[in-house]
Structure 1
């Protein structure tokens, strides 16, 4: 069995590869000196076994800095796995990448608010600017907002004011993965005060919005698709709302899972399905503060 390897990127490697049969590869790469690897190491080669050839291509992402270390890789048909210090370094790199993704989302949300404020407006005023009057429960803008490229959809409405709540209304955010005529799935609702400032995120029972029900994990997979590039009613509002869902993606995933737990534990006296119980409206919620979140990310 022979393998030919090409290591891509500028990387000094001292050591040897230990190779095993049955389509599996294990190797230790001792690294000497000050090494910083960003991006990926592409391992390409060809396996000869019994006169046949089986192409091999694996991509390994490594980040970190070490004076003397060993990157241990084990892989077969499904790819390589990092072990030991290399795995810790990869986890750190993943966290750094996610923090930067969140920081960028925070910058986008704050930028949209800043531009609107300079113009004497805010997220709520922009959302309602086409309205001649604002009635409770009425959808704004009329007909909802739908981006046909991503399947993201939303509308804003307000409820009768409740003492001490301070919330003007909320954006109900959905995704239609199969297009405008396909099923619609509620992701999360975003509550704002009368000045359009973020107040809370929450999930609702099925009867509240009448969506096509999906279990928690299936709903979570749709979250990245809530990304609108659409002019109506305001491009800034659409980008702000998209940024908010990206910024709080971890929290939204937790809320969706909590929704599932609450519904599973809920029982009506008459034995009717929990998703139809009018007494259960909000299934999970979380108070949020955009500026506090941004400050925590160094934005």
Structure 2
């Protein structure tokens, strides 16, 4: 497992280093073709989808809040049966305005409107999030894939915590927890890519 993590950390740092040489970063690359950046808008338009693996993602930002470091996040999905099949959210990856990794988190079903899967079935899809795709940037796609591989253990724990939180959540009106607009983020973890890489000796 450590070998997988070490290779993933190397890949993620390599993508960041190549982008930095071009005075760019993961966020700038993602938004490179955007004429303007509005809150909630998906980038790139139509999302990114790798038909070979079923991996899919989009980036969006929320309205800025004072004191909030996060610019926005990548919502990561897997479509195991192809473009017309069900879609399952696996994790969201938050970054700051310089494209630096800040946190990983899961969301309630109403947030993304995906096809719900219980924790273990969702976890089984994680290896499928492995994009070899040029749009909008091969480096962004490899960086995201590497981040999910690097933090695989932590993401599995977040997905299990998501289900525990939902199972324990009760609305006053008895409506399903997965529809409760008061419950958006179901689990989260602050992360530091360089600290993780250094701990692995990368």
Q: Normalized per residue, which structure has more helix?
A: 2
Q: Counterpart in 2 of 1:207?
A: 110
For structure 2, which runs of at least 5 residues remain unmatched after alignment?
Answer: none
> What residue in structure 1 maps to residue 30 of structure 2?
127
Written as runs of structure 1 = structure 2, the 5 A alignment for 1:189-204 is 189-204=92-107
2:72 counterpart of 1:137: no
CA distance in 2, matches of 1:218, 1:104: 25
Cα distance in 2 for partners of 1:254, 1:100 equals 20
**Alpha-carbon separation, structure 1, partners of 2:150 and 2:186:** 21
1:133-169 C-alpha deviation (Å, 9 max, x unpaired): 0000000000000000000000000001122221000
Tell me by how many angstroms 1:132 deviates. Answer: 0.1
**TM-score (normalised: structure 2):** 1.00
Indicate whether 1:277 and 2:185 are aligned: no
Q: Would you say how many aligned residue pairs link Structure 1 and Structure 2?
A: 202
What is the rounded CA distance, in whole Å, between the counterparts of 1:139 and 1:255 in structure 2? 24
Distance (whole Å) between structure 1 residues aligned to residue 66 and residue 126 of structure 2: 32
Give the structure 2 partner of residue 239 of structure 1. 142
Distance 1:108 1:248 in 2: 13
- Offset from partner CA, 1:208-257 (integer Å, 9 cap, x none): 00000000000000000000000000000000000000000000000000
Structure-2 separation of matches of 1:163 and 1:270: 33
Which digits, 9 at most, give the CA deviation of each residue in 1:54-97, with x for residues without a partner? xxxxxxxxxxxxxxxxxxxxxxxxxxxxxxxxxxxxxxxxxxxx
Compare CA radii of gyration and give the structure with the larger one. Answer: 1
Greater strand share, 1 or 2? 1
* 1:253 corresponds to: 156
| Secondary structure of 2:66 counterpart | coil
Q: Distance in 1 between matches of 2:119 and 2:66?
A: 32
**1:3-152 aligned within 5 A:** 98-152=1-55
Output one character per residue of 1:155-213: Cα deviation in whole Å (capped at 9) or x when no partner: 00000112222100000000000000000000000000000000000000000000000
Q: Alpha-carbon deviations, 1:24-63, whole Å to 9, x = none?
A: xxxxxxxxxxxxxxxxxxxxxxxxxxxxxxxxxxxxxxxx
Displacement over 3 Å in runs of 4+:
none
Segments of structure 1 that go 5 or more residues without pairing to the other structure are: 1-97
Distance in 2 between the 1:275 and 1:203 partners? Answer: 12
